[in-house]
Amino acid sequence: MTEQIKMRVQNRGEVSDIRILMQHPMETGQRNDEKGQTFPAHFIQTFTLSLNGKPIIEGQLNTSIAKNPLFTFRALGIKTGDKLSVAWTDNIGEHRQDEMTIA
């Protein structure tokens, strides 16, 4: 299993800045090793950002974008004590979900 998803939320009045770092190798399937063999594609395919158990953002990626991708979002109405969770599934069926309580 991969490393924990890192999340940071900064409340700025009614608007909150959310930063999510998803630990994943994100291989495109177009790169070759030193023997000329192609590394198989391995990338996050879908992800969901939920607030208190309700999805607020759902995303789909079609190819690899970068190793350990960082996403930034803005949301309204996030307050202290709320639970923010992120879940992803990749193209080979691996998945990860992590949660944090807003301080």
Q: Where are the domains of the chain?
A: 6-101
Which CATH code of 2.60.40.10, 2.60.40.420, 3.40.640.10, 3.40.630.30 fits the domain covering 6-101? 2.60.40.10
- Tokens at 33, concatenated: 């090793």
Note the pLDDT of residue 1. 55
Determine contact, residues 70/41, Cβ cutoff 8 Å. no
Give CA–CA dist 94/40, Å, rounded.
14
Q: At 97, is the pLDDT very low, low, confident or very high (cuts 50, 70, 90)?
A: very high
Rg of the chain taking only CA atoms, in angstroms: 16
Residues 6 or more apart in contact with residue 86 via CB below 8 angstroms: 5, 7, 20, 22, 47, 48, 49, 50, 97, 98, 99
Tens of pLDDT along 24-72? Answer: 999 999 999 999 999 999 999 999 999 999 999 999 998 878 999 999 9
